[in-house]
Amino acid sequence: MISAGDFRNGKTLEIDGTVYQILEFQHVKPGKGAAFVRTKLKDIKAGGVIERTFRPTEKFPEARIDRKDMQYLYNDGDLYYFMDQETYDQIALSSDIIGDELKFVKENEMCKVCSHNGNVFSVEAPLFVELEITSTEPGIKGNTATGATKPAIVETGATVYVPLFVDNGEKIKIDTRTGEYLSRV
């Protein structure tokens, strides 16, 4: 059990049968009246964010989230297949669960599959990936003083904005959380 006075960002807890992750919290001590804790909570299954206040003495059970490394095998229509590297068990997840998380992930790369009580609710891509540019326009000479960027399509089909000096066939490093270009490889 975790009390509202001990809330921290990133903690997961179960409130009324729903699992929430704490995005933000703030301990408030008004001049008049009792103290309270103001929070922003994200429903990890539905994805919605709610704001709620608690008394510091309220207690909730901490939810156990299992994150398991699995290899992304392939995509077959609406299903994405993953394999456990230890037991070689395969699971298929629908595109509703995956969302846009795998737009920078190539086949046979490792991902984290997140579950609560055996129910998978999301997939986390690696933080950084190295991908090859398949299509981009050539940079315009003389337009480099402003740090200009141009769109480039990488081998997974996603679009990334890269500096003008990057050309077709080059490998680049991308931050999967923001989708930003980091460097050439």
Q: Taking the complete model, does pTM exceed 0.75, yes or no?
A: no
Does the domain spanning 66-124 belong to CATH 2.40.50.140? yes
Comparing CA positions, the residue from 31, 12, 29 lying closest to residue 21 is: 12
Question: What's the pLDDT tens digit per position in 18-40?
Answer: 888 888 999 999 888 889 999 99
Predicted pLDDT of residue 142 = 65
**Candidate from 64-73, 90-99, 140-149, 160-169 with smallest mean pLDDT:** 140-149
Residues 160-172, mean pLDDT to the nearest whole number:
89
Q: Provide the percentage of residues in the chain whose pLDDT is more than 90.
A: 25
User: Which residues are bridge partners to 145 per DSSP?
Assistant: none
**pLDDT surpasses 70 at 143:** no
Rounded to the nearest 5 degrees, what angle is found at the Cα of 8, between the Cα atoms of 6 and 14? Answer: 80
How is the chain split into domains, by residue range? 2-60, 66-124, 129-184
**pLDDT surpasses 90 at 53:** yes
Query: What number does CATH give the domain 2-60?
Result: 2.30.30.30
User: Under CATH, to which class is 129-184 assigned?
Assistant: mainly beta
